[in-house]
Structure 1
Amino acid sequence: MSEENKEPVSVEQAQDVADQSVVNPWEVTGIVDYGKLIERFGSTPIDDALIARFEKVTGKPAHIWIRRGLFFSHRDLNEVLDKVEQGKPFYLYTGRGPSSDALHFGHLVPFVFTKYLQDAFNVPLVIQMTDDEKFLWKNITLEDCARYTRENAKDIIAIGFDINKTFIFSNLEYVGTMYPNILRIQKCVTGNQVSGIFGFGGSDNIGKHSFPAIQAAPSFSNSFPHIFGDRVDIPCLIPCAIDQDPYFRMTRDVAPRLGYLKPALVHSKFFPALQGYQTKMSASSTDSAVFLTDTREQIKTKINQAFSGGRDTAELQRQFGANLEVDVPYRYLTFFLEDDEKLKDIGDKYASGKMLTGEVKKILIDLLVDMVQRHQEARAAVTEDIVTAFLTPRKLAF
């Protein structure tokens, strides 16, 4: 069945995906069945054949997050690979909703993967800072939103993006350039449709109702005239967590009516909160995540308190082993431990009882401390002038 012929999925309909889980752009709770989520959202799983084609087209090994199934679903990734084989351009688009001074490890996932894609395909990238969204949804002043944008941009830049191929933009500053496309999108979507897709009600402020069009606009290349001119024939690929998919289902529905190309997407699974899969990481809750500003002692404390799938005692752990599916430290290792053989060895020993919970947590602590220290060093080198340069509309290498 084609995507267009599938039953539309609203936020409310997505809430019964598995075990009363809730999946929408603002809330993720419960243990998510990703297979059922693919079925409900109408996306396509990333299979071995697509991974093999990806490697053939790029000439590079697939990222560990693709091979391990952490980026697990897509829309039209094959068509992007067709474009590459034909020597035709595309660009990347991802974003961040700045609501705190620092990012946590869950925020890193789409950006680290996006950098991999930028390097693999050698393409331009636009990064939307949705400071307007955070003002509408949270009790944050516009001044704080603007400050968070610049602070979060420093963390993003520290990941290593190429300034010659990367444009970071604040909606508060750049929305005027996108406004013609925002209007075109808004004219195509009724109030009933946006309420059905996103679950907005009569008590929600009108800014929430209009925001989806703002998040949709960067999907179209002529929203960036300083990069692409007035061209509308350049597709974009959007790496994001699957909870952001409702925005782009709406965008893909609107695109043909405007004579634009549908954006392609690649979806990640959710990075679990320290308390386990029943909770969501929050930038406003320092206990739910490891932040890039945390000290060694803070990281050690947080990981030692993280939800474990191990047994209550060492004796029981040796007898029965751990449940890897719910063990947060092990799940973190699947994201950040690059050595496949070492990860498998840890998983086998931990599940069989040959390794104790404390041993697994120690491995993770050392890994995260090293990552945070390297990130903090890179971030310290990002000056205000560098941030301004990334945020300045300009031509990119394209």
Structure 2
Amino acid sequence: LASYIYTPMQVADIFHLKVDIAHSGMDQRKAHMLAREVAPKLGYRKPVAVHHHLLMGLKSTRKAGYEMSIADLKMSKSVPESCIFIHDSPEEIRRKVKGAYCPPRDAENNPVMDIIRHIVFHEFKVFHVDRPAKYGGPIEFESFEELRQAYERGEVHPLDLKNALAEHLIKILEPCRRYFENKMDLVEEVKSLMTRKVD
């Protein structure tokens, strides 16, 4: 029953809020397309729909050959350990990434590789993996494909990959962290909304 009610509720939100641009992950595409379809019939303007890739949650353990829904795999604010927030401290980022699912030699069903592909290589031309000399020393990758091949050959250890990802994310999120340093009341308000239960 919920599946019949939820999508129309999402569409009603778009109209009630007078949304011009509906931006979300691909999991919301169905609601946005429905809004575009019914808008003229209900006397509303069609919203522009913009969709982006959904990052896998850090705890996602999708196995090859098994079908899982996007909702099962995506980062979710309702499961804080499954995602990185823009206001997370460097220590929180390192801890969360260290606990992430990162199967050896598997680049496809791997949330760490997913973040590197869609976030890190969007921000950096080179992905630097700093590792001890006894494990091959520092190594750099100029493309995701180069990293993927090396990882699938076992040339990069999952822990080294996680450590490198954490350091890159810390750099990417530094401006956000600085912004929120003096606005912790906003962070706490958002956290309270995430933990609030509806009766």
Separation in 2 of the partners of 1:299 and 1:305? 10
Partner residue in 2 for 1:272: 56
Separation in 1 of the partners of 2:24 and 2:78? 21
Question: What are the superposed Cα offsets for residues 127-153 of structure 1, whole Å, 9 maximum, x if unpaired?
Answer: xxxxxxxxxxxxxxxxxxxxxxxxxxx
Per-residue deviation, 1:218: 4.3
1:200 pairs with 2:21: no
TM-score, scaled relative to structure 1 = 0.35
Per-residue deviation, 1:373: 2.6
**SS of 1:287's equivalent?**
helix
1:287 pairs with 2:81: yes
Question: What are the superposed Cα offsets for residues 128-181 of structure 1, whole Å, 9 maximum, x if unpaired?
Answer: xxxxxxxxxxxxxxxxxxxxxxxxxxxxxxxxxxxxxxxxxxxxxxxxxxxxxx
Partner residue in 2 for 1:144: none
Q: Percent identical across equivalent pairs?
A: 21
1:351 pairs with 2:156: no
Q: 1:380/1:252 Cα in 2 relative to 1: closer, same or farther (>3 Å)?
A: same
Contact 2:15/2:44 (<8 A) preserved: no
**Unmatched segments (≥5 aa) in structure 2:** 63-71, 127-141, 186-199
Contact 1:216/1:248 (<8 A) preserved: no
Question: What are the superposed Cα offsets for residues 266-317 of structure 1, whole Å, 9 maximum, x if unpaired?
Answer: 322321111115444332332221223332222222212211131xxxxxxx
Separation in 2 of the partners of 1:199 and 1:326? 31
How do 1:1-398 and structure 2 match up within 5 A? Answer: 198-200=3-5, 212-218=11-17, 236-276=20-60, 277=62, 278-310=72-104, 322-337=105-120, 338=122, 339=125, 341-380=142-181
C-alpha RMSD of matched pairs (Å)? 3.1
Separation in 2 of the partners of 1:301 and 1:364? 12
Separation in 2 of the partners of 1:268 and 1:257? 27
Q: 1:211/1:245 Cα in 2 relative to 1: closer, same or farther (>3 Å)?
A: closer
Separation in 2 of the partners of 1:381 and 1:212? 36
Q: 1:266/1:210 Cα in 2 relative to 1: closer, same or farther (>3 Å)?
A: closer
**SS of 1:238's equivalent?**
strand
Supply the AA of the counterpart residue of 1:200.
Answer: I
Separation in 2 of the partners of 1:287 and 1:210? 28
Greater relative contact order (Cα < 8 A, sep 6+): 1
Supply the AA of the counterpart residue of 1:216.
Answer: F
Q: 1:261/1:382 Cα in 2 relative to 1: closer, same or farther (>3 Å)?
A: same
**Unmatched segments (≥5 aa) in structure 1:** 1-194, 202-207, 221-235, 311-321, 385-398
Question: What are the superposed Cα offsets for residues 252-273 of structure 1, whole Å, 9 maximum, x if unpaired?
Answer: 2222224544223232232111
Question: What are the superposed Cα offsets for residues 334-360 of structure 1, whole Å, 9 maximum, x if unpaired?
Answer: 121232734332222112222221221
Contact 1:252/1:262 (<8 A) preserved: yes
Partner residue in 1 for 2:192: none
Contact 2:14/2:22 (<8 A) preserved: no
Separation in 2 of the partners of 1:336 and 1:293? 16
Partner residue in 2 for 1:89: none
TM-score, scaled relative to structure 2 = 0.64
Q: 1:371/1:259 Cα in 2 relative to 1: closer, same or farther (>3 Å)?
A: same
Q: 1:251/1:329 Cα in 2 relative to 1: closer, same or farther (>3 Å)?
A: same
Partner residue in 2 for 1:76: none
